[in-house]
Amino acid sequence: MTDGWSVARALTDPQSAAGLEPAGWTRLLSAARALSLIGTLAEAMADNGVPAEVERVLGDVRRSNIAGQRQALWEAECAKAALATYSGKVILLKGTAFAAAGYRAALGRSIGDLDILVDRSGIEQVEALLLSAGWEWVKPDPYDDAYYRKWMHELPPMIHASRDRMIDVHHTILPLTAKPRPDAAALIADARALPSGLFVLSPADIICHAAAHLLADGDLSGGMRNLWDIDRLVRQFAAEERDFAERLADRARLHGLTGAVSRALRLSQRLFNTPPVFRRKPEPGAGAEQSGPGIRLSPESTSAKRHISDALFLRRITAVDGWGRKTRKLTRQAFFIRSHALRMPPLMLARHLWTKWRMGRRD
Amino acid sequence: MRHSCFITVGPARFRIGSDWRAPIDLLRSLYRDYPLEQVVPDFTVRLQATSALRRWIRPAVSIAGDFTLPDAAPLPLSQALLAAEMAMNLQMALGWRRHLLLHASAVSRGGRAVIMTGVSGAGKSTLSALLGERGWRFLGDEFVLLDPDSGMIVPFPRPVSLKNAAIAAMEHEVDDDDRFGPVLRDTPKGTIRHLRPRTEAIGLMTRETQPALLLFPRFGEPRAVRRVDEAECFVRLTQASTNYVALGERGFDALTHFVRSIPARAIDYTDGEEGVEMVERLWSEQGVKAAA
């Protein structure tokens, strides 16, 4: 069992760590930290007996968790105040959303940047309001700036001058160059209001966004944490939301993310024993529905192909050792290349890499 | 990793892994008086080759671990001790949560501590090393740990990182050659040589002391002493702390209590001898006041 897998096991079955020797704990803690899951592990172990020297470390982590979430929620408050005159919905995404909505996925989760979603028609007003409230551009390079504005699903990142916290302002949940085109208007229309006046996505859309972020964007470097989010959210939504499975299937189809959502659920089931949401449908149409446009590695998915590509994803996601080092360099590189292939058609990718390479040489 | 060791400094436990054997041997030698047995560490530090090729050809050490800075420049293998020191400092600065961390040096006498803080180059490190050879207990030259619950100072007496002119001054002060590490030339910080604290100071490193005097020393200026009020102390110490914000309310409470409970002076001094003499003088003045 690799150290990535041992983190997954410790999260799902905290008792399984009880027999660890000091060296085993050391490896587990380092791997969990490298996967950004140390906070989650600390909460999972909160009611378990652990050796005193492990408790020292995990106790500190739990203290950091409290401070981190307080800071993240405060940052959301600051954004809300800055956007008071904006009449559209301000929708929190990812970790801040889980914490603000009180979802169990927030327990121990590290939260970095503040991610918000607003309607594309209001993005210029939002940008101006944030700039006048103390946020500044992080990337002064004109190429990067133009690239973000033309092709990305978000504004170039901004940082608050005095609080040193980043904000990502999204107008949809995938880059405009990606093949799936999520329905941003539907995401915003279905968002749920919080008592604070801020919004979060509907439960089904939250899962769609998490799956899109994991599989149709990026190189899976935060993959295990994303899947842990999905596991916790699915467990909670399946228990608390009416017709969650149907809603999720509908929304995934609407956003063109059926393949990504299905795969995310399969992966989290393999890693964390997430209970299945979709029952296998016997009718012939079901196969086509399972393979959506989100995944290009396995366009026609016989179950065997799917099994092999799932194994590749898991190989990437668990690629960390007991020193917190990334392992399996080739696999990681393959997924890095894939992340670019997903974002851009080949010609555009070639032009982008050429520009970036020249920028790199200039520096 | 291929080579590794464990080092405990004060309350902090480190696991250090290396792609090469030499840095681990050097660390074991420099830290020979510290507890080196295997523990579940607070932090993992990695001294790793920047690439597979750079393990052998012009070997370069990248500084990595639980906490890293994205733009940390690699160092040549001959400066691996400095790489280890920087990596361990980084773990403390970014990761330590049990105490309020002040970028400061400290010494104590009779169970009461003098804390000296200032920007790099202000002389706090050398001054603490000098006092540590002249009857004071050395508590640390880089980080002072303040316990938010008890208000006590927790020692962190890692080896002193002597720079440039301070090396000769301390070589003159310390007879025992064994306490010095190798001379590291042409580092990003100039020439560096580590000095292991006296064995007694390391042996007492788990014993906390009460803060008694806060100093803001400045080396190379004409002699002067200035009273520093609570507000200025507070602001300067928030800047000198790496985890003040991360500790939230605990950090605020600890720091306000700290600046209210002890007197503070800014001292300018032209050389080490004058610095030591001024600390001794201020110390005895405080002692008289405390007794009165």
Location of structure tokens 């169970």: B111
Q: How far apart are CA A272 and CA B74, in angstroms?
A: 38
Which of chain B's residues have a Cβ under 8 Å away from the Cβ of A60? 42, 96-98
pLDDT at A2: 67
pTM: 0.88
Location of structure tokens 């280890």: B84
Which of chain A's residues have a Cβ under 8 Å away from the Cβ of B42? 56-57, 60
pLDDT at B289: 57
Q: Which residue of B has its CA nearest to A25?
A: B40
The DSSP result for A46-106, as a single string, is TTS---HHHHHHHHHHHHHHHHHHHHHHHHHHHHHHHTTT--S--EE-HHHHHHHHT-GGG
pLDDT at B55: 83
Say whether pLDDT at A295 is over 50.
Answer: no
Instruction: Provide the sign of the torsion angle of the four alpha carbons B123, B124, B125, B127, taken in this order.
Output: positive
Which of chain A's residues have a Cβ under 8 Å away from the Cβ of B15? 26
More confident residue, A342 or B157: B157
pLDDT at A301: 53
Say whether pLDDT at A293 is over 50.
Answer: no
Q: How far apart are CA B17 and CA A323, in angstroms?
A: 8
Which of chain B's residues have a Cβ under 8 Å away from the Cβ of A51? 40
Say whether pLDDT at A291 is over 50.
Answer: no
- Between chains, do A60 and B38 touch, taking CB under 8 Å as contact? no
**Closest CB to B66 among A64, A66, A324:** A324
Q: Is B246 on the interface with A (CB under 8 A)?
A: yes
Distance from CA of B235 to the nearest CA of A (A): 15
Helices (H), chain A: 3-12, 22-34, 38-44, 52-82, 94-101, 123-132, 142-151, 184-189, 203-215, 223-240, 244-255, 258-272, 285-290, 303-317, 329-343, 346-362
Q: ipTM beyond 0.85?
A: yes
Q: Is-contact B198 B99, C-beta < 8 A?
A: no
Which of chain B's residues have a Cβ under 8 Å away from the Cβ of A54? 40
Distance from CA of B1 to the nearest CA of A (A): 7
pLDDT in tens, A158-198: 999 999 999 999 999 998 888 889 999 999 999 999 999 99
Domains delineated in chain B: 3-95 (no CATH), 100-291 (3.40.50)
Q: Which residue of A has its CA nearest to B14?
A: A26
Distance from CA of B219 to the nearest CA of A (A): 31
Distance from CA of B197 to the nearest CA of A (A): 26
Q: How many CA atoms lie within 13 A of A260 on its CB side?
A: 32
Q: Is A88 on the interface with B (CB under 8 A)?
A: no
Average pLDDT, chain A: 88
Q: Is-contact B17 B3, C-beta < 8 A?
A: yes
Read off the amino acid at residue B201. Answer: A
Q: How far apart are CA A128 and CA A117, in angstroms?
A: 15
pLDDT in tens, A79-103: 999 999 999 999 999 999 999 999 9
Say how many Å lie between the first and final Cα of chain A, rounded: 43
Which of chain B's residues have a Cβ under 8 Å away from the Cβ of A57? 40, 42
* pLDDT bracket for residue A334 (50, 70, 90): confident
- Between chains, do B40 and A29 touch, taking CB under 8 Å as contact? yes
Pairing status of strand B210-219 against strand B264-269: parallel
pLDDT at A71: 93
Which of chain A's residues have a Cβ under 8 Å away from the Cβ of B48? 325
Distance from CA of B109 to the nearest CA of A (A): 30
pLDDT in tens, A344-353: 777 777 777 7
pLDDT at B288: 54
Residues 6+ apart with CB under 8 A from B128: B105, B106, B107, B116, B138, B139, B140, B141, B160
Say whether pLDDT at A360 is over 50.
Answer: yes
- Between chains, do B65 and A324 touch, taking CB under 8 Å as contact? yes
pLDDT at A208: 97
Q: Is A69 on the interface with B (CB under 8 A)?
A: no
pLDDT in tens, chain B (292 residues): 999 999 999 999 999 999 999 999 999 999 999 999 999 999 999 999 988 888 888 889 998 999 988 888 899 999 999 999 999 999 999 999 999 999 999 999 999 999 999 887 778 999 999 999 999 999 999 999 999 999 999 999 999 999 999 999 999 999 999 999 999 999 999 999 999 999 999 999 999 999 999 999 999 899 999 999 999 999 999 999 999 999 989 999 999 999 999 999 999 999 999 999 999 999 998 875 554 4
Q: Is A81 on the interface with B (CB under 8 A)?
A: no
Which of chain B's residues have a Cβ under 8 Å away from the Cβ of A53? 13, 39-40
Residues recorded for chain B: 292
Mutate to test the interface with A, among B24, B39, B40 (most CBs of A within 10 A): B40
Residues recorded for chain A: 363
Which of chain A's residues have a Cβ under 8 Å away from the Cβ of B248? 66-67, 70
Q: Which residue of A has its CA nearest to B65?
A: A324
Q: Which residues pair with B224 in a beta bridge?
A: B268
- Number of Cβ atoms within 10 Å of the Cβ of B78: 15
- Between chains, do A324 and B44 touch, taking CB under 8 Å as contact? yes
Pairing status of strand B137-140 against strand B100-109: antiparallel
What percent of chain A has a predicted confidence (pLDDT) above 70? Answer: 91
Q: Is A63 on the interface with B (CB under 8 A)?
A: yes
Q: Which residue of A has its CA nearest to B243?
A: A64
Q: How far apart are CA B249 and CA B246, in angstroms?
A: 9
pLDDT in tens, B231-290: 999 999 999 999 999 998 999 999 999 999 999 999 999 999 999 999 999 999 887 555
Which of chain B's residues have a Cβ under 8 Å away from the Cβ of A323? 1, 17, 44, 46
What CA–CA distances, in Å, run from A331 to A163, A216, A307, A344?
Answer: 37, 17, 17, 20
pLDDT in tens, A230-252: 999 999 999 999 999 999 999 99
Q: How far apart are CA A109 and CA A107, in angstroms?
A: 6
Q: How far apart are CA B91 and CA B96, in angstroms?
A: 7
Indicate the SS3 state at residue A154: strand
Q: How far apart are CA A81 and CA A184, in angstroms?
A: 24
Distance from CA of B142 to the nearest CA of A (A): 22
Distance from CA of B211 to the nearest CA of A (A): 24
**Closest CB to A67 among B38, B98, B248:** B248
Q: How far apart are CA B184 and CA B179, in angstroms?
A: 15
Q: Name the packing angle between helices B80-95 and B22-30 (round to 10°).
A: 70
